[in-house]
A and B are shown apart, each in its own frame.
Chain A
Amino acid sequence: DAGITQSPRHKVTETGTPVTLRCHQTENHRYMYWYRQDPGHGLRLIHYSYGVKDTDKGEVSDGYSVSRSKTEDFLLTLESATSSQTSVYFCATGQGMGEQYFGPGTRLTVT
C-alpha cells in the first residue's frame, strides 16, 4: 500500500463544533481526494486537490472545506458539524488517470 495515513482514526463530536481531518502521504502523488462512505451510497467525492493550493469540489462538497499547503498533507474541515456528516471518511491519492490509493479511513460520529 502507498504510505497514506489519516488522523484521527475515530472521532466523536457534537453538532455545531468544527472538525478537521488530516491526510498525510509519503508517495509524492500529485492528486489527493476526500471521499465519504455511507451505506447504500458507495464512495462519494467531497473535494479533491490537483496540486499545492489547487483544489476543486466534488459531488457532495456542501458543508466541507479543504486545504493543501504541502504536497503531502490534505486537510478536510467541517466548519460546523451536523449529524448528516456522520460517516466514514477516506482519503485517497493518485497520479491522475490511474489507480487511487486509499488511506485507512476515519470514522466520524456527530452527536
Chain B
Amino acid sequence: GQQVMQIPQYQHVQEGEDFTTYCNSSTTLSNIQWYKQRPGGHPVFLIQLVKSGEVKKQKRLTFQFGEAKKNSSLHITATQTTDVGTYFCAGQGTAGNKLTFGGGTRVLVKP
C-alpha cells in the first residue's frame, strides 16, 4: 500500500533560525496536505498542494510539491516559539478519498 515517509522525526531549532521538513511518498499523489498538531491538541489543516511543482506561502511557511508529485517540503523561516508542535504531511492517492499520513516532524524551539 501507499507509504509516506517524513524526515526528520525531531527538529531542535534555535529561535530565529530556519528549518525544513521533508515528505516522500512511495506512489504518485493526487494531492498532499500539511497539518500542524500542537502539544496535547489535535491536527489542524494548514494547506493543500495539488499541482506538480506547486509552491505556496503562508507568512513564514513555504510549502512545495515535487514535480513528480511524490514528495513535498515545508520550510519555516525565522522560527518562533509559536511554531512548536508536530507537522504532518498527508498524501491522497489517485484512487480514493483516504489520506496516508507521514510520521510527523516534532519541532522544538530553543529561545
Binding site for B on A (CB under 8 A): 1, 31, 33, 35, 40-45, 48, 50, 58-59, 90, 92, 94, 96-105
B59: CB under 8 A from chain A? no
* Contact (Cβ within 8 A) B101 A103: no
* Contact (Cβ within 8 A) B97 A96: yes
Residue among B6, B30, B99, B101 facing the most chain A CB atoms (10 A cut-off): B99
State A40–B101 Cα separation when bound (angstroms). Answer: 12
B65: CB under 8 A from chain A? no
Query: Which residues of chain B come closer than 8 Å to A33, judged between CB atoms?
Result: 98-99
18 example contacts (A-B, Cβ-Cβ < 8 A) are as follows A40-B9, A40-B103, A42-B88, A42-B103, A42-B104, A43-B43, A48-B97, A50-B97, A94-B97, A96-B97, A97-B92, A97-B97, A99-B33, A99-B45, A100-B45, A100-B99, A104-B41, A104-B42
Interface of A is mostly: strand
In the assembled complex, the CB of A15 is this many whole angstroms from the nearest CB of chain B, namely 27
A-B pairs under 8 A by CB, number: 52
Binding site for A on B (CB under 8 A): 1, 6, 9, 30-31, 33, 41-45, 48, 88, 90, 92, 97-104
User: Which residue from chain A places its CB closest to the CB of B102 in the assembled complex?
Assistant: A42
A sample of 11 more A-B contacts (CB under 8 A), given A43-B90, A50-B97, is A40-B9, A40-B103, A42-B88, A42-B101, A90-B43, A92-B43, A96-B97, A99-B33, A100-B45, A102-B42, A104-B41
* Contact (Cβ within 8 A) A97 B31: yes
Query: Which residues of chain B come closer than 8 Å to A105, judged between CB atoms?
Result: 42
State A43–B9 Cα separation when bound (angstroms). Answer: 14
* Contact (Cβ within 8 A) A97 B30: yes
Residue among A35, A43, A44, A98 facing the most chain B CB atoms (10 A cut-off): A43
Query: Which residues of chain B come closer than 8 Å to A102, judged between CB atoms?
Result: 42-44
In the assembled complex, the CB of B108 is this many whole angstroms from the nearest CB of chain A, namely 15
Query: Which residues of chain B come closer than 8 Å to A96, judged between CB atoms?
Result: 97
Query: Which residues of chain A come closer than 8 Å to B100, judged between CB atoms?
Result: 45, 59
